[in-house]
Structure 1
């Protein structure tokens, strides 16, 4: 089969590699859709770690080709989504019920071969059948949607909240959808990319701000009677927007650091502001125990239009260049055509 290999350099290499036959507790999947995550881009840029040689791509779905003798949760022909993390079960976070913080975690697309290949063999406990009526491309968004769901849980969006989201990419839109379902009364999205702002409006969000051309603080104050937002979600992964989040939140409000800033980047925060306003700041990483819930709620999220570009596996370099330019929302690789 064809696979795009990360060898430690800045460009993926297309190679022929053997198909791995499934063990007794494994599932062989013919990949339909694998979407590019910002983490994939950071790996190629040398900002995040992966174990070369490895096939990248941790957001993927496909059709079951073969199953091991112990597998009962799916059968050949089923459309499935993959939750790509494997936890040790023995470290302190795992034993405290927080496996997403596992100290010895493995992941398909990081140190195990992931979705940028024609077939993937994964453990059955990471495989989830997809509801009827959901496309393979939507199913590939299961991992990022699970991460967003964990973030929304962490920051506790509630009925009547005004939510500001800094960063209107695919994650920002999914966060907006989930906040809406949790009862948010107002959702304001800040996004400097003009093309993305236009696309965000097609999803029904009309309070979309260009932070480079408008005063975002004045806009939020105008929308909240000068009080500030109940919840601010930093989804851009930038130190400046992390600082901005603290300035936009109301007294007693909550801030979520969701965007992935490169390690070593720092933001300046005024401790007295956090103290005086009793601001709660939380972080969110990965997707503990959310993938099942994601499969249940996917039909209500209306995510089909988030995938805006599709590329063959042979054109994965062009796909990453498109993602790097910020064109569209989600870029999808179609390894089998």
Structure 2
């Protein structure tokens, strides 16, 4: 089968590799859709760790081809979504009920072969059957949607909240959908990419601000009668928007650092503002115990149009170039055509 291999360089190498037959507790999946995450881009840029040689792609879904003798949660032909993390179960975070902070974590697409290949063999406990009516492309968004769900849980969006989201890519839109379902009264999205702003409006969000030409702080002030946002979600992964999040929050406001800033980057934050307004700042990483919930709620999320670009596996270099340019919302690799 064909696979896009990360060998430690800045480009993926299209290579023929052996298909791995499933063990007794494993599932062989014929990959239909694998979407590009910002983390994948960071890996190729040398800003995020992965263990070469490895097949990248940790957001993927496909149809079950074969199952091991112990597998009971799926059968050949099922459309399934993969939660790509494997935790050790023995380190302190695992034993305190926080496995997503595992100190010895493995993950398909990071140090185990992931979704940018024609077939993937994964453990049965990471496989989730997809509800009727949900496409494989939507199912591939299960991992990022689970991460967004964990973030919204962490920042505790409540009924009537004004929510500001800094960054209107795929994650920003999914965060908006989840905040809406939790009862947010108003959602303001800041996004500098003109094409994305049009797509955000097409999704039904009218409060979209261009931070390069508009005064976002003034827009938030006007929307909240000068009070500031109840919740601010940093979804761009940039130090300047992390600092901006603190400035936009109201007294008693909550701030979520969701976007992945490159390690070592620093943001300048006024401690007195955090103190005087009694702000709560939380981080959010991965998707602990959310994938099942995502599959349950997926039919209500209306994510079908999040995938805006599709590429064959042989054109994966072009796909990453499009992702780097910020084309569309979510870019999908179709390994089997």
Whether TM-score is above 0.5 comes out as: yes
* Cα displacement (A) at 1:260: 0.1
* Cα displacement (A) at 1:53: 0.3
Aligned to 2:240: 240
Is 1:215 the counterpart of 2:215 in the alignment?
A: yes
Aligned to 1:155: 155
* Cα displacement (A) at 1:314: 0.2
* Residue aligned with 2:305, SS: helix
**What residue ranges of structure 2 are gaps of 5+ in the alignment?**
none
CA distance in 2, matches of 1:168, 1:226: 24
CA distance in 1, matches of 2:70, 2:91: 27
The 5 A counterparts of 1:37-116 are: 37-116=37-116
CA distance in 2, matches of 1:24, 1:205: 47
* Cα displacement (A) at 1:191: 0.1
CA distance in 2, matches of 1:49, 1:235: 20
* Residue aligned with 1:304, SS: coil
CA distance in 1, matches of 2:139, 2:305: 13
User: Deviation string for 1:299-330 (max 9, x for gaps)?
Assistant: 00000000000000000000000000000000
User: Deviation string for 1:214-250 (max 9, x for gaps)?
Assistant: 0000000000000000000000000000000000000
User: Deviation string for 1:65-106 (max 9, x for gaps)?
Assistant: 000000000000000000000000000000000000000000
* Cα displacement (A) at 1:16: 0.3
Q: TM-score, normalised by structure 2?
A: 1.00
Is 1:206 the counterpart of 2:230 in the alignment?
A: no
* Cα displacement (A) at 1:112: 0.1
Q: TM-score, normalised by structure 1?
A: 1.00
The 5 A counterparts of 1:1-337 are: 1-337=1-337
4+ residue runs over 3 A deviation: none
CA distance in 2, matches of 1:336, 1:98: 36
* Cα displacement (A) at 1:135: 0.1
CA distance in 1, matches of 2:317, 2:77: 30
Matched length: 337
* Residue aligned with 1:305, SS: coil
* Cα displacement (A) at 1:205: 0.0
CA distance in 2, matches of 1:326, 1:16: 30
- RMSD of aligned alpha carbons: 0.2
User: Deviation string for 1:144-198 (max 9, x for gaps)?
Assistant: 0000000000000000000000000000000000000000000000000000000
CA distance in 2, matches of 1:14, 1:215: 45
CA distance in 1, matches of 2:178, 2:112: 30
CA distance in 2, matches of 1:46, 1:109: 15
CA distance in 2, matches of 1:55, 1:209: 37
